[in-house]
Amino acid sequence: MHSVKLTKLVEKMNLKNMTPDIDMTEIKVHQPDINRPALQLTGYFDHFDSERVQIIGYVEYTYLLSLETERKKEVYRKLLSAQIPCVVFCRELPPDQEILDAANELGIPIFMTEKSTSSFMAEVIRWLNVELAPMISIHGVLVDVYGEGVLIMGESGIGKSEAALELIKRGHRLVTDDVVEIRKVSDETLIGTAPDITRHFIELRGIGIIDVKTLFGVESVKETQSIDLVIKLEEWEKDKEYDRLGLEEEYTEFLGNKVVCHSLPIRPGRNLAIIVESAAVNHRQKKMGYNAAQELYKRVQKSLAKNSEK
């Protein structure tokens, strides 16, 4: 099961730690969803998912203020005894001493954030969905070309990194070279990132490792990118039949998600960077409702119809 350390969540969301004496280095979050424990504060714990981050908003806070001290202690102890990852108070609502005492005793961290409840919930869920998403690593190069995430694949030494370098010089942005970490954040979206150790580096045979960020500036790199198009580079085969019209889309699959895929034959004289650019723009154009291959097909059909009438 994927997990993310609570310390990473605290750092990312800039949470204020109200229980600094608690060691949270070993606490991990396993669920991307969160919970507002309204029913639990009234004593109903059936179907309670204790693995979720617990959020206290204004409604829960004002309800707690209405409780008598002994009842409040009982509610806090029962909630924190469920071994939840943590409790976050939104809108800078200060947690009372009763919950801090119970938290320190039971070892459950309490945090506070200035964000509103709704915006904080949305931000946490979005971030956790990415961090906890199913992930695979593949061999390839991921580049942002005109806003389209283009994953370039192919055998080692075929020219993936060289094509990426040319695209960078033409103003596009590198996400990762050699190893692409692909995360499935939804049934529609795949996100690609670079491993920390190789981020912003490209390997060029005969030259070695180059730092793209240092050579071309921060505008030449990007941390994450959705994968919209896959281009597979392959050696040119004289007798192989290649698609010349593109009337039917071909797909490849990662983690159960299908992505449009083009097989691109390599031979001397072909400018890979321009071809990749054209493929990215053409893919974007198709998403906006225009398909050049279908338009050509319609023109041919109209021409044949006119000739048949003569």
At 99, which amino acid appears? I
Which residues participate in catalysis according to the annotation? 139, 160, 178, 244
How many angstroms separate the CA atoms of 190 and 125, rounded?
Answer: 17
Burial profile 13-42: b = 16 or more Cβ within 10 angstroms, e = fewer: bebeebbeebebeebbbebbebbbbeebbe
Residue 188 marked in a binding site: no
Residue 157 marked in a binding site: yes
Residue 206 marked in a binding site: no
What CA dihedral angle connects 213, 216, 217 and 221, to 10 degrees? Answer: -50
Residue 308 marked in a binding site: no
Residue 186 marked in a binding site: no
Structure token pair of residue 167: 């695209």
Residue 263 marked in a binding site: no
Structure token pair of residue 210: 């180059």
Residue 71 Cα distances to 74, 100, 103, 104, 262, angstroms: 5, 15, 16, 19, 64
Residue 81 marked in a binding site: no
- 8 A C-beta contact, residue 5 and residue 25: yes
Residue 116 marked in a binding site: no
**Binding-site sequence positions for Mg(2+):** 161, 203
**Binding-site sequence positions:** 154-161, 203
**Binding-site sequence positions for ATP:** 154-161
